[in-house]
Structure 1
Amino acid sequence: MEVPLLPEANGSRESPARYRRFLSEAKKVSHIALPMVVVNISEYFLSISPLFMIGHLNHLDLSSVSLGVSIANVTGYSIIFGMASALETLCARAHGTGEYEKVGTYTLNSIVCLFMVSIPISILWIYMERILIFIGQDVLISVEAGKYTTWLIPSLFPYAIYQSLYGNHFVIPFADLLDVNIPVGDGEFGRGAFY
């Protein structure tokens, strides 16, 4: 005789209880997942949002910025992301074995290493105009894309720190660094008022 894997529902008695349990679990999961979804979408829009605004100017600017964003993603941000991804495995292993000092050592070494990698990437981005012209891109687009990638250089170094901390899931403690303590009036706004 075959036994069903799931017990059969006895009419409408189990259905509302099962629905309430489902809603309860969905609420718990959404409290965890929603902030992660917002952060990932915001991170994606960080590189795309300039295209929305520049698209209203003219075709030269739009094509230049889109080429600059593509070049920056391929030659810079993806390299840093890939190198920081190795940190996730190392820190998880160190944390799992209780070697918490190694987690900090790995994180600091990652920040220093990614800073060192960011220097040649910055040099590459400085000469991006010449490289694009050399490989046969349109001169006007290459000039503007080179300017854009040069202006992106200051974002490369904070991205290296962010990826090192994000790979270790230090995002919440890192967010605590942004906590402010500004007394206003009679001190009615204390710690975390602007958090």
Structure 2
Amino acid sequence: MESNSSLGTALLPEESTETSFWRKVLDVEEVKKQVLFSLPMILTNAFYYAITLVSVMFAGHLGELELAGATLANSWATVSGFAFMIGLSGALETLCGQGFGAKTYRVLGIYLQASCIISCFFSVIISIIWFYTEPILILLHQEPQIAKKADLYMKYLIPAVFAFGFVQNVLRFLQTQSILMPLVLFSGLPFALHFGIVYTLVHWTGLGFKGASLASSISLWISLILLATYVVCSKKFEHTWGGFSSESFRHIVTNLRLSLPSAAMVCLEYWAFEILVLLAGLMPDAAITTSVIAMCVNTEAIAFNFTYGLSAAASTRVSNELGAENPGRAKTAMAVALKLVVLLALVLVLALVFGHNIWAGFFSDSTLIIKGFASMTPLLAISISVDSFQGVLSGVARGCGWQHLVVVANLVTFYGIGMPIAVLLGFKFKLYAKGLWIGLICGLSSQAATLLLITFRTRWTRIDLSAEREQGTLDSV
């Protein structure tokens, strides 16, 4: 018995050394927090994105023209509406995240209402733009037949932009409080129902192509109703949700100071991707080229939904720690997120490399389109890797309230570097779709390098730990 005890004691220094090694490489506790946070967020974002994507897939199997129209419409909806709504809600990651860390709980509900008012206002403007989709796309030199199909698709998608905007706000409200499992439930359930809704509307009614986009609107509204009911009725929010209040109107301007730069920050990146779809429409074999590029954009967006889980984790952990006046822990959270995203990017790239033909088959039965997508796979793998890295850095920026800096970075890297290279390679050197994507990779790489420089050059101890305290509003609320 003594010898066994001695042997066990002798092993303890080795175990201690191994534990010490891993603690130097990764903060194990922080890793656990971010992984447990990321997984529900990954599922939630994947479910929401998949709702509109499944509708595109159902529409695409009605024919090549329908596929081109639906993919173009989905891209246009993203560039002109959904991306903007995601960006507007980004202000809540800073305001609610730091407010929760500072334990000024009541401010969360006030800012949620202010953000919903802002989202509703911009949804009306977006709806008007969507109503005139066909003339806008024709003005952008898109194929008239494809533009007409996209216009028809968009008109039935208008109700979705209101629901999507509200959903994103509620999502950020829960996210900053680390209340995550309800998000999975109330996004997963509508997604499961969506298959039955879209199949019924497309194949069992006279709506056909129109039913695909209408199904997205219905499913998103179902999700919003479930989330809103949960927030209003659950006792978990007795401190952060005090009911509807006219006080929220007084904080709209404060919210806009972050929400508009946040929206610009997101849109500048989304627009770069969607501009590629528009440029593809100007190339030979427009229907096929547009479909291939749009499929690449959708694939990149799906991959980013996984990355966004870590991005949201980084944003929440950083904003919470800064609100609690722990900048050291905030910096540790950022470092851990960057290490984890390397592993995630590797998994995503391997899945794409080995499953690209199967994935392309979900979008189309056309051999030409599937082959075209296969030829883009190596470039797509590179862009996904770089995009994953910058996604986490963007999350850190939202948590810190650096949206203004990122807007300038995105503007310069995508439109001063990426897009000019894409046009040059795609049209001048006739690399077509590959040339467009190489230019995008150049923009993404420049963006990631710039965000990394901003992150490591910033004096974390000098970050304004409460963006609202300077305005005198956080303490008063």
Q: Tell me if both proteins adopt one fold, taking TM over 0.5 as the criterion.
A: yes
| Deviation per residue, 1:121-170 (Å, 9 max, x gap) | 11000001111112221111111101111111101111111111111226
Q: How does 1:1-20 map to 2 (within 5 A)?
A: 10=11
Look up the equivalent residue of 1:73 and give its one-letter code. T
| Deviation per residue, 1:2-57 (Å, 9 max, x gap) | xxxxxxx95xx96xxx9xxxxxx999987665433322221221221122222221
| Deviation per residue, 1:59-100 (Å, 9 max, x gap) | 110000000000000110001111111111011122222222
Q: Which residue of 2 aligns with 1:177?
A: 229
Q: Which residue of 2 aligns with 1:61?
A: 66
CA distance change for structure 1 residues 121 and 27 in 2, over 3 Å: closer, same or farther?
Answer: closer
CA distance change for structure 1 residues 117 and 93 in 2, over 3 Å: closer, same or farther?
Answer: same
Q: How does 1:5-84 map to 2 (within 5 A)?
A: 10=11, 33-84=38-89
1:177 alignment partner, SS class:
helix
Structure 2 CA distance, aligned partners of 1:59 and 1:156? 26
Q: Which residue of 1 aligns with 2:108?
A: 103
* Pairing 1:135–2:136 present: no
Decide which structure has the larger Cα Rg and report it.
1
Look up the equivalent residue of 2:69 and give its one-letter code. S
2:156 alignment partner, SS class:
helix
Structure 2 CA distance, aligned partners of 1:66 and 1:81? 20
CA distance change for structure 1 residues 100 and 27 in 2, over 3 Å: closer, same or farther?
Answer: closer
Q: Which residue of 2 aligns with 1:168?
A: 173
Q: Which residue of 2 aligns with 1:22?
A: none
2:96 alignment partner, SS class:
helix
Structure 1 CA distance, aligned partners of 2:126 and 2:38? 34
Q: Which runs of 5+ in 1 are unaligned?
A: 1-8, 19-24, 180-195
Native 8 Å contact 2:170 2:228 kept in 1: no
CA distance change for structure 1 residues 66 and 97 in 2, over 3 Å: closer, same or farther?
Answer: same
Q: Which residue of 2 aligns with 1:185?
A: none
Structure 2 CA distance, aligned partners of 1:51 and 1:145? 11
Structure 2 CA distance, aligned partners of 1:35 and 1:62? 31
Aligned residues: 165
CA distance change for structure 1 residues 133 and 175 in 2, over 3 Å: closer, same or farther?
Answer: closer
Structure 1 CA distance, aligned partners of 2:95 and 2:62? 46
RMSD value, Cα: 3.3
Q: Give me the TM-score of the superposition, normalised by structure 2.
A: 0.31
